[in-house]
Amino acid sequence: MSHEPNSKSVRRIVLPSGRTIDVVKPAAPQPTPAEGLHVCPQCGSHLVQPLEWGEGQDGTWEMTLGCPNCHWLTEDVFSREQVDRFEEQLDDGLADMLSDLRRMTQANMAEDIERFVYALDADLILPEDF
Ligand SMILES: [Zn+2]
């Protein structure tokens, strides 16, 4: 049997009722800087969004992040650098989404035109359709 160092941290939370529960989490439960804050640590989605934010102390930011995919939520303090990178990721994501949308619109139009041409060829479109 190997004796690994304790890689989990236990956080004791006291409920309003007075009961305490131990929440066991992996040693690094927050998104690692390498992954970026836009990556959900629970499901791996790249769509994590800031839900609430406010300036903390010493240039840090307090943010509530949420994953629209699995509804993972976290509230934590992040460094200015992490937040800057997160903002860049959000901009990239938005740009990706817009170009996807453009591609999809074009694909749909091409399909519509094909269908229209086919219908014309097959004499399926008659003057009374207009
Ligand atoms: Zn998720």
Q: Which residues surround ligand 1, an ion (CB under 5 A)?
A: 40, 42-43, 45, 67, 69-70, 72
Distance 45 CA to ligand 1 centre (A): 5
CA distances from 113 to 48, 79, 100, 109, 116 (A): 37, 51, 20, 6, 5
> Where do the H-state alpha helices sit in the chain?
80-121
Strand 20-26 and strand 61-66: the pairing is: unpaired
By the 8 A CB rule, do 61 and 78 touch?
A: yes
104 vs 47, which has greater pLDDT? 47
- Among 26, 23, 27, 39, smallest CA distance to 86 is for 39
* 40 has pLDDT over 60: yes
CA of 49 to the centre of ligand 1 (A): 10
84-89: average pLDDT: 87
- Residues 61, 57: Cα–Cα separation, whole Å: 8
Q: How far is CA 52 from the centre of its chain?
A: 14
Q: Residue 2 — pLDDT band, cuts 50, 70, 90?
A: very low
Q: What is the distance in A from the centroid of ligand 1 to the CA of 46?
A: 8
**What is the CA(73)–ligand 1 centre distance, in A?**
9
**Does residue 26 surpass a pLDDT of 80?**
no
pTM: 0.48
Residues 50 and 86: beta-carbon distance below 8 Å: yes
Q: Tell me how far the alpha carbon of residue 84 lies from the centroid of ligand 1, in angstroms.
A: 21
